Amino acid sequence: QSFKLLGFLDVQSVPCARESVLYGSLGSLVVGLGHFLATSRVRRSCDFAVGGFISTMLGYWFYCRYNLAQKRIRQRMLKEGMKNRMLFEGSYLDPERKQTGDERSDS
């Protein structure tokens, strides 16, 4: 079972889509209700609610995707570091290995 928003955005499989829709609907409720309480104009409040939904959803979408990209970069760097650690462990290229005076004069 997959839920497709507007017929093309699969909310369950696309990263950050579910949270963006949820935060967008919350933003829509807050902006629309706040505008209605301030002005008592129903139609205008609905327009503000739609604008609040779009702006909140897009704002959180970009924020979440940026954090996801940063997380993937950190994971890639960590994976590469782990691979290098296994390659160089115990050799003279190991940065954590203490070099003695004899080894320093050889290199």
Which residues does residue 5 pair with via DSSP β-bridges, in sequence order?
9
> Is the pTM of the predicted complex or chain greater than 0.85?
no
Between residues 95 and 42, the one the model is more confident about: 42
Provide the β-strand partners of residue 9: 5
Residue 1 confidence (pLDDT) = 62
Distance CA 89, CA 97 (A): 8
Mind listing the pLDDT tens digit for each residue in 50-106? 999 999 999 999 999 999 999 999 999 988 888 877 777 777 767 676 665 455 555
- The Cα 70–Cα 84 span in angstroms is 21
| pLDDT for residue 34 | 96
Task: Please check the confidence at residue 35 and state whether its pLDDT lies above 70.
Answer: yes
